[in-house]
Amino acid sequence: MTNAPAHATAADLLALSPVIPVVVVDDAEHAVPLAEALLRGGVRVIELTLRTPAALAAIERVAAEVPGIVIGAGTVTAPEHAEQAAKAGAAFLVTPGSTDRVLDAAEDTGLPFLPGAATVSEAMRLAERGLTSLKFFPAEAAGGVDYLKSIGGPLPGLRFCPTGGITPATAPNYLALPNVGCVGGSWLAPKDALASGDWARVEELARAASAL
């Protein structure tokens, strides 16, 4: 089962929300109330990273129980991750970097995906494969707003979702760039809020992010 929008493309993902929450879930039981809180706050998408043993089960729960939100799998770093995430119900995939095997596996799922790039050469190589909606990671460490502004001229056909080190204070600077569709942010789902079940706080953070 998947809750992907019909005929969704990678470009569509960049338009779902100004901020895509990048979430690490240690307990699958937190996934549904977290997704519901984000949705109440106006955020219709979530990238749940494959960094914990609970991740695939969490994706499966959200896909089955929160149809109003588009659930994606992040930290796809191996070919098998792509297939596992698709079977769990992920509507899209996100990779931190781009190897041929991971790209091939992501394409084989038929799901839209945001491949990661941190250099001009990586971005050009992805464009050669017809991939023009990319993740820029790690955004702050790799040059941030100034870097994306610099590559906008020679690479006008590419748009990015920068992720990594972005905060509510710096997000507007990224979103003001013409080659940025949205940003990824981990601040929408703080670990302490998930651990304590403070869904009202998550909802408040989501509401602020959706207004950026």
Does 135 participate in catalysis according to the annotation? yes
Helix residue ranges per DSSP H, 30-184 = 31-40, 55-65, 79-88, 100-109, 120-128, 144-151, 171-175
Asked whether the predicted pLDDT for residue 5 surpasses 80, the reply is no
Given 36, 107, 128, 135, the catalytic residue: 135
Give the number of other CB atoms < 10 A from CB of residue 178.
10
Distance between CA 20 and CA 28 in Å, rounded? Answer: 19
Percent of the chain with pLDDT strictly greater than 70: 97
Beta-bridged to residue 45, according to DSSP, are 70
Return the ∠ at Cα 193 (arms to 191 and 198), rounded to 5°. 160
Residues 6+ apart with CB under 8 A from 5: 12, 70, 91
Give per-residue pLDDT as tens, 100-150: 999 999 999 999 999 999 999 999 999 999 999 999 999 999 999 999 999
Average pLDDT over residues 189-199: 96
**Is domain 16-211 annotated with CATH 3.20.20.70?**
yes
Give per-residue pLDDT as tens, 164-185: 999 999 999 999 999 999 999 9
Return the ∠ at Cα 39 (arms to 138 and 169), rounded to 5°. 40
- Per-residue confidence (pLDDT) for residue 2, from 0 to 100: 43
SS (H, E, C) 42-71: CCCEEEEECCCCCHHHHHHHHHHHCCCCEE
Given 36, 47, 60, 203, the catalytic residue: 47
Token pair of 148, please? Answer: 């994306």
Does 60 participate in catalysis according to the annotation? no
Percent of the chain with pLDDT strictly greater than 90: 96
Contact call for residues 49 and 186 (beta carbons, < 8 A): no
